[in-house]
Amino acid sequence: MAIISAPGHRIQLIAGVLFTAIPLWLLAWHFRVRTPLFVSRHIPHHNAWTIDRETFIQEWMDNHIGNEPNNSAISFLCRQPSINWQPDVVLDLDDANGGIGNVRGNIFDFLGLAILSGSSIVLPSFQSRSSTDLSALWNGKTPFSTFFDEDHFIATFAAACPKMTIYKPKGNHSLPPPLHNRYGMPSMRQDLYPDTRDTEKPNTPSAAVKDLQSWMLAQPDRDPKNITLISVGRTLWEGLDTRSLPPAVRRDFGSSLRLIPEVRRLAALVTYNLALTHHLHDIDPRLPYYASSFLGAHLRTEDDAKNAGWLDNNKPSAHADFDGQTDAYLSQAVERNLQIIYVASGNTSEISKFAKKASLLHNIT
């Protein structure tokens, strides 16, 4: 007769319990995630845990913040009765540069002038930054499609502004060389410059259109029998006061500059991985935003920001140094009870520094 010692019996008993309990626990967890009855009514059932990656990414990319874009909203601008469309006048944005925010601002100012003056345009390009020095902004022109969805942009304005021709920089067309002089657009922002209201050149959209027309007619190398191509210098948020426009126009004017699909797909993949890694079950790719999931933070402490004086709190141009920015982000996270912060920055060492600060002060990841 075999004799089983007490310790061996206990080990067999424990092993039997584990072999039984673990599958039951896994089954319960699987049922908990995928069965609506056992999911809080505040958590979407449609998330990274219940759909495959490609479905998540596609639904994320098909989504938009706010309502679906409507070209008729932009046509509100293009069909103003005061616009005199001039197919023989073509504007070319000459020197847009900076980060994507500044480039967008340059292009929107340019588009406002083109629409109000009834001009056609050359598809905007912009200066590329150096890959080794972010402060070096002048490294040759890079095409529109580097940042923005070209097909979407052209289709949007073809539908909303059919009288505006968009020429591709290297397209099959016969545009003449630009006029020798470059045009500098005056500000249209009387809200920023109220003192110009009763002057000969008020900062208004109509005054800017009149200024362009007068300038063009005064150029000695202009040929009235041919297309006039004008190089336009960049401005930043000096064009149309979009805050004065109807919300739908503001939304759709802005969404005309949609990021290229490759970047949007990468953002969708990051969101998917973020949801899986940190168990963010309330991220539904069909929703426009996720207010209770995580905080997105742009930590602007790269060398070019430092060189520009933005991180020096003693300078008027200061935007806030590392502590100022991270304190503000952590304050928002704590106020909204968010335990996850997704940080984007070109300064990897300061991302690590921020992560340590967030963990020590507020147990935030």
pLDDT tens-digit map of 290-337: 889 999 999 999 888 888 788 887 777 677 899 999 999 999 999 999
Q: Record the pTM.
A: 0.81
CA dist 341 → 43, 66, 365 (Å): 19, 23, 6
Query: Residue 72 — very low, low, confident or very high, per pLDDT cuts 50/70/90?
Result: confident
pLDDT at 133: 67
The answer to whether 240 and 21 have CB atoms below 8 angstroms apart is no
CA gap 160, 249 in Å, rounded: 11
DSSP 60: H
Which of 8-22, 73-87, 234-248 is predicted least confidently? 8-22
pLDDT at 3: 31
**Mean pLDDT of all residues in 38-58:** 78
The answer to whether 125 and 144 have CB atoms below 8 angstroms apart is yes
Burial of 299 (0-12, 13-18, 19+ CB in 10 A): buried
pLDDT at 67: 58
Nearest to 189 by CA among 250, 233, 238, 234: 238
For the cut 60, the answer to whether the pLDDT of residue 27 exceeds it is no
**Mean pLDDT of all residues in 72-101:** 91
The kind and range of the H/E element at 207 are: helix 205-217
CA gap 70, 67 in Å, rounded: 8
Q: What average pLDDT is seen over the chain?
A: 85
pLDDT at 32: 47
Q: CB atoms < 10 A from the CB of 171, how many?
A: 10
Q: CB atoms < 10 A from the CB of 3, how many?
A: 5
For the cut 60, the answer to whether the pLDDT of residue 7 exceeds it is no
pLDDT at 40: 44
What topology does CATH give the domain 71-255? Rossmann fold (3.40.50)
Report CA 356 to chain centroid distance, whole Å. 28
